[in-house]
Structure 1
C-alpha cells in the first residue's frame, strides 16, 4: 500500500486520503491479508506493517514534485516480486511510473481525472489499472484504463454521534479553496439567519491568499473561523452542528467529509455537483439543492431529518468492511488480467 509522503497514516487532522487508507489496510488485515504500508515518517497507526522511505514527513514541501518522485523511486526499489503479489498506489504520480515495478500495480484515483491530472493519468503505464472512487469520477474521463469503482469508506468504531438533531451552527469543513465554496456558505447562512463555523485547512500559499483576499472581507459576528482543526475537534464540531454545508463549485469526485458528517448523525446540505447524489440520500440523510438560492431554506429544514438515518446509511453503505471486500475483488480481477509477474522486468534488472 503506497501512500503519499506528506502525512502519517492515519493523519492527526486533515487528510481524507490517509484516513481512507487506514480503514482499508485494517479491513484487509481483518480479511486475512498481509499488508505493508510504504510511506514517510517514523510512525503509523494501522494494523499492517510499515516501511518508511524517508525519516521525516514531507508536509512542509506539499505541492512540490520532487518529494513524491523521490518517495516513489525508493518505493520501486523496495518492491520485489518475491515479497508482494500486488501494489496498491494512492499517489498522484504513481500510475505514471508504476510500470517500472516488478509487481503489478493497481492505483486509486483520488482527484478529478481531467485537465492536467487527466493528462498524467492518460499516460498511465501499460499494465497498470486504475480504480475510481465514484461513478461520477469515472464518467468524467471514461477513456482511462479503469478496472473498477470502489467507494471510499470509514471506520465508524468509536465515532461519536447524536441521537437528536443538532442545534448548533451550520458547519463548513474543508480546505480554503473557491472549489469548496466557503463564500457561498457564508452568504447562504446569512440569508437563512443562521450562524456558521468555517473550519478548514489553510496552510498552502494559495489557500492563505484565497482566505485573506476573498473570505476575510466577508466575515462578521455570525461566522466563527477554526483553522487547522485536529481530528478530535473536527468530530466535535460535526456532532454539534445542525448540518454540514457542501456548496461545492466543482465536480467533487467523492467528498469524504460528507460521510464523516452523516456518521455523526449530522445531515448534509449540498449543491447537486460531483458525487454528492451517490453519497447523500436527499430527504433522508441530507438535502440536495439544484441552485444556490435553495440553500437557505434547506439549511433551516435540516433539523427535521433523523440523525439515526444518517448513521445507519453510513454503516450500511460506507463501512471499511465493504470497501476492503470491493478492493479484494478488484485485486483478483486485475491480477487475472495482467501478464504474469515473472514477465515483468524490475528496475534494477533493467539497469544491469
Structure 2
C-alpha cells in the first residue's frame, strides 16, 4: 500500500463554505477512471473530480494508477486485480488496507463504494456513507440490511430504494456523466445500437430479434471476458449475428462515444430491476433516444416521448425502434444535461454529506457516540 500526494489541483474561485474532507474508497478491480469496462469506477472518478472542483479535499483509495484530481491517493494494489473480479480475497485485502490508511487521516466523512469496506464502519469515529451500486435483494441486500445504521446508504434510483426498505437509506442521488465529453450528433446513421455486458439480464439477443423484426441493422458492442459471458454469447448471440447484426468487440471510451452518437436509437431491453443503467444517459447525452422496457430505473431516467420510448413488453419493441427516429436529438441532450450531468450529482452528494456531517457534529456535542442518522431521510437530501 502506498500513499501519495497528487499534484496541486485548480481550486474554484469561490470554494464552498466549510469545505469538507472526504475520503472516497473505490472498488479494487479497475483503475480510475477505467480505460474500458468499469461503470462504477467511472462514476467514482467523476465524483472525485467534481467534489475537488467544488473545493473539497478528497482522498481517494484505489488500485493501480489514477487520473483524478484527488489531493491524496492511497494505492492498495499496484496493478488492479481485474482478472480476479468477484473473488473475495482482493476485496478483503482492499478493505483492510483502506481501513488502516483512513485511521491515520483526518477526514469528515468516508464515502465507500466497495463491498467489504463497510464492515469497518461501526468502529469509525466519522460517518461512513455507502452508495448502493448493485442489487438490493438476495445476499447483498441481506448484508446491507445487517449493517444497520453503522452505514448511511445512498440509493442511485428511487426504484432501487423501494426494493428493500429495510436498508438504512439516507437519500437518493442519481448517477451522472460529464455530458460535455460525449459528442452530440443530430444526424444519425440508420442502425440501432446495443451496448453493455453480455448477459441474459441485459438482453442483447432480444435486441437483435427486435431490430431484425423492425427491418433495422443493429450493432452490438460489449464485455464478454468472464466465462458466463462468453458462454451466453456463444449460445444466444453468435447464432443471431449476420449482415444485419454485427458485433464489434468491447468498446473503449472513444469507440463507445462514436457508436452512441451515430446510432438512431439505443436498444435497452433490460430483463432485471437494474438500479441504474449508465448507458442510457450516455446515449441521451449524444442525442440518441433510448428504447427500453420499464424495469428498474428506466422510468426515472428516460423521459418517455422526449428522450426515448418506454414500452410495456417486447412485442412493442420493434415498432418503438422504428419510431425513435422521430424524436428530437436536442431534447435528448437537454434531458441529460438537466438531470444527469456531473454538477447535478456532485451537488446532491455535497448536500447529503453536509447534512450527515453537521447532524453528526450537533448530536455528538451532546451525547458523545455516533447517532443513528435514519432521520436524514426526512430532511430532503435526495438529489
Q: If the length of structure 2 is used for normalisation, what is the TM-score? A: 0.86
* Distance of 1:249 and 1:195 partners within structure 2: 22
Query: Which segment drifts farther, 94-103 or 259-268?
Result: 94-103
1:300 corresponds to 2:322: yes
1:312 corresponds to 2:334: yes
Tell me what 1:244 maps to: 266
2:216 counterpart (190, 194, 204): 194
1:163 counterpart (186, 189, 194): 186
Q: What's the secondary structure of 2:83's corresponding residue?
A: helix
Tell me what 1:264 maps to: 286
Tell me what 1:277 maps to: 299
Kept after mapping to 2: 8 A contact 1:23/1:320: yes
Tell me what 1:222 maps to: 244
Deviation at 1:80, TM superposition (A): 2.6
Tell me what 2:12 maps to: none
1:63 corresponds to 2:83: no
Q: If the length of structure 1 is used for normalisation, what is the TM-score? A: 0.93
Instruction: Give the length in aligned residue pairs.
Output: 342
Q: 1:64 to 1:190 in 2, by over 3 A?
A: same
* Distance of 2:254 and 2:223 partners within structure 1: 15
CA deviation profile, 1:150-199 (whole Å, cap 9, x unmatched):
000111233211123x1231100010010001111011011001111111
Tell me what 2:16 maps to: none
Q: CA RMSD in A?
A: 1.6
CA deviation profile, 1:192-250 (whole Å, cap 9, x unmatched):
01111111111011111111122222222211112221110011000111110000000
Higher relative contact order (CA 8 A, sep 6+): 1
Kept after mapping to 2: 8 A contact 1:109/1:131: yes
Kept after mapping to 2: 8 A contact 1:76/1:101: no
Kept after mapping to 1: 8 A contact 2:148/2:168: no
Kept after mapping to 2: 8 A contact 1:86/1:106: yes
Tell me what 2:233 maps to: 211
Kept after mapping to 1: 8 A contact 2:128/2:152: yes
Structure 2 unaligned segments of length 5 or more: list them: 1-23, 371-383
1:179 corresponds to 2:183: no
1:233 counterpart (249, 255, 260): 255
* Distance of 1:81 and 1:133 partners within structure 2: 30
1:134 corresponds to 2:157: yes
Deviation at 1:333, TM superposition (A): 2.0
Tell me what 1:326 maps to: 348
Query: Which segment drifts farther, 101-110 or 171-180?
Result: 101-110
* Distance of 2:80 and 2:275 partners within structure 1: 26
* Distance of 2:355 and 2:117 partners within structure 1: 20
Q: What's the secondary structure of 1:227's corresponding residue?
A: coil
Kept after mapping to 2: 8 A contact 1:79/1:102: no
Deviation at 1:271, TM superposition (A): 0.6
CA deviation profile, 1:74-121 (whole Å, cap 9, x unmatched):
000001375211100111233333323343210000011001211111
* Distance of 1:125 and 1:144 partners within structure 2: 7
Deviation at 1:340, TM superposition (A): 4.2
1:45 corresponds to 2:67: yes
Query: Which segment drifts farther, 203-212 or 99-108?
Result: 99-108
Q: What's the secondary structure of 1:282's corresponding residue?
A: coil
Kept after mapping to 2: 8 A contact 1:84/1:103: yes
1:123 counterpart (146, 169, 174): 146
* Distance of 2:55 and 2:166 partners within structure 1: 34
Q: What's the secondary structure of 2:179's corresponding residue?
A: coil
Tell me what 1:348 maps to: none
Tell me what 2:33 maps to: 10
Q: 1:82 to 1:63 in 2, by over 3 A?
A: closer
Q: What's the secondary structure of 1:148's corresponding residue?
A: strand
Q: What's the secondary structure of 1:79's corresponding residue?
A: helix
Deviation at 1:20, TM superposition (A): 1.1
